Structure 1
Amino acid sequence: MIETLKLVFPFVLFFIIGYLFKVKFKYAEEMGQIITKIILYITLPVTIFLSFVSNTENLGNAIYLPFIGLLIPLILFGITYIVSKRLNLDEKTECVFITCPLITNAMLFLSPFIYLVYGDVGLTRLSLYDVGNSITIYMIAQTLFVSYECKRFNLFKGLKTLLMSFPIWGLVAGLVVGGVGIVIPEFIMKPLKIIREVNTFLPLFVLGFYFKPVLDNIKVVFNAVFIKMVLGLCLGIGLSFLFTESIDKITIILASSAPVGAVSLVFASVYGKDTKFASSLVSYSAAVGIIVLTILEYSFNVFGLK
């Protein structure tokens, strides 16, 4: 257990630094959005690109991970939709509640840990899983945020957003470069590797920056976090038996139990939904996510899954 705590400690520290940074200097949450854009447009795509450049030959059954990353959120979405009808929520809160399983914080929350503990091999698996997650975020969740009041869906806009995703292009570029066998010159690789190392710090920092738990609607928050993370974990464990490679199993289990993504808060702000509830969801699920990550990593060692 001590070894597991040593692995998790840096990420807890990064999270705390992000939170204290906001509290100490009293920055508005808009600053967090700027940092998030740096991650999504620069550090994360570069990290994904480099992981695929060196691991395109050993994917095996991992090519099916996007389907798992799509299936689990859709099942959980069905559950939150049914449960929401029993909670009699305000329409703006209900939209955030039912979409929370569709917005998984897989890459932002897990990529630093996966990279440092499991290397590029683990990161390629997480990136593939996140393809399915990206579909649920931009083609389903965003569409629901836009159309929840007028009941008008715009799948074309969701597809356009998905295709403009920089992490997706990082994945595609990495597959092409690695598959063709293109050798990247050292003078290009060196700055890319530096950017990749920055990505081990920034994602947890920005999650700490967003951390703002409140006690309003705590029962509803509990229901959402339970469905998203506990039931998600159960589904992940069950579906992991479809795969033979340990790293594939680990990826599914960790990603299925990942917290609600900060994109939920961004969508709530942009589309006029319940931002306070979205902020609580992101905050509480991130805190729970650190605990769950610690327990799971320890379990992997106990059961010899690594």
Structure 2
Amino acid sequence: MGSILIQAVSFLLVILVAYLFNKGGILKEQDGHVLSKIIVRITLPAAIIMGFNGASVNETFFLMIFLGLFSNILLVVLGEFLWRNKSAVDQSMLMFGISGYNIGNFTMPFVQGFFPTAVPFLGSFDMGNSLMLSGGTAVPVDKMTGQSKEAFSIVRTAQKLLSSPPFTTYLIMLALALSGFILPASVRSVVQLFSNVNAFLSMFMIGLYLELQIDRSSLTTVAKVLGIRYGFGAILAAAFYFLLPLPQIVRTILVLLAFAPFGSLSTINAIIYGSKSSLVGFLSSASILISLLLMTSILILLL
């Protein structure tokens, strides 16, 4: 329990320091863009490589891909049903807001400190999750709200996925795991250097982007979206944990994933579909702080 609380507090302190650096003018939000590029192109792929290296692939990996895809689809449809009488902009905000999980920049850094062997399961879930975040979610949103931004293209979605260093790293490491190939110790030692700073940089970037100001008129909407997101996250978590005949560590990971924060691309898509950037930015920031609290509590209860 002590180590869990120490890590959670450490993450919160890193986020707070970055937030204060931003508000104090030492760093700017634009500096977060630089960190984002470093994380996406270097440290996160390194963490994926270290996590997948030597992993034994079985049917659970492919089940996790399916669950990542299925969870997104279920929540998108639920979002449209719950707010079917609201405006198209509000509908799309809820559909994007309650689906999609921030795995690479939050959940993976948070979990890998406790379960290094869980990274392949996180990565497998994220492959299904990424399929929806990179274009799949926009298809039902367009159809259900009538806000067609551009025609869905399998080729364009595939290009987005393959241009993503983390997703490409998932594919390569999954292929290597299937073949039984293990990276040499000399290569692992170099990759480990980059992997070790992934958690710190990810939390620091979150702090630079943190948005804690919002007009009072939007608080009701924020409360409703967060309530739906985490309320049905709890239902999914219970289903994952009690209904799936999987090893304890996998069920624990699925429970944590059910309470992961909003995906970064979900917030971007919500803005593209007409939601106010200040509202969506606050929602994203609030979900990160709520998820940190909930995921810490879950680990204390389940470990």
Tell me the equivalent position of 2:61. Answer: 62
For structure 1, which segment, 25-34 or 187-196, has the greater mean C-alpha deviation from structure 2 after superposition?
25-34
Report how far residue 273 of structure 1 moved: 4.3
Does residue 206 in structure 1 map to residue 208 in structure 2? Answer: no
2 CA distance for matches of 1:2 and 1:203?
Answer: 23
Candidates 287, 291, 294, aligned match of 1:292: 294
Aligned residue-pair number: 297
Call closer, same or farther: CA 1:284–1:192 in 2, change over 3 Å: same
Equivalent pair of 1:144/1:153 in contact (CA under 8 Å): no
Structure 2 residue runs without a partner (length 5+)? none
Report how far residue 143 of structure 1 moved: 5.5
Superposed CA RMSD: 2.5
Call closer, same or farther: CA 1:143–1:41 in 2, change over 3 Å: farther
Deviations 1:117-139 (A, max 9, x none): 011x1111111111111011012
Report how far residue 230 of structure 1 moved: 2.5
2 CA distance for matches of 1:274 and 1:146?
Answer: 18
The 5-angstrom pairing of residues 57-206 of structure 1 reads 57=56, 59-86=58-85, 88-89=86-87, 91-119=88-116, 121-142=117-138, 149-150=147-148, 152-156=150-154, 157-206=156-205
2 CA distance for matches of 1:81 and 1:26?
Answer: 42
With structure 2 as the length reference, what TM-score do the two structures score?
A: 0.87
For structure 1, which segment, 261-270 or 35-44, has the greater mean C-alpha deviation from structure 2 after superposition?
261-270
Equivalent pair of 1:72/1:236 in contact (CA under 8 Å): no
2 CA distance for matches of 1:129 and 1:2?
Answer: 28
With structure 1 as the length reference, what TM-score do the two structures score?
A: 0.87
Does residue 51 in structure 1 map to residue 51 in structure 2? Answer: yes
Letter in 2 for 1:155: S
Call closer, same or farther: CA 1:189–1:161 in 2, change over 3 Å: same
For structure 1, which segment, 7-16 or 180-189, has the greater mean C-alpha deviation from structure 2 after superposition?
180-189
Structure 1 residue runs without a partner (length 5+)? 302-306
Letter in 2 for 1:274: K
Letter in 1 for 2:207: G
Report how far residue 160 of structure 1 moved: 2.1
Report how far residue 189 of structure 1 moved: 2.4
For structure 1, which segment, 184-193 or 274-283, has the greater mean C-alpha deviation from structure 2 after superposition?
184-193
2 CA distance for matches of 1:214 and 1:181?
Answer: 50
1 CA distance for matches of 2:67 and 2:141?
Answer: 23
Letter in 2 for 1:153: A
Call closer, same or farther: CA 1:35–1:93 in 2, change over 3 Å: farther
Does residue 256 in structure 1 map to residue 258 in structure 2? Answer: yes
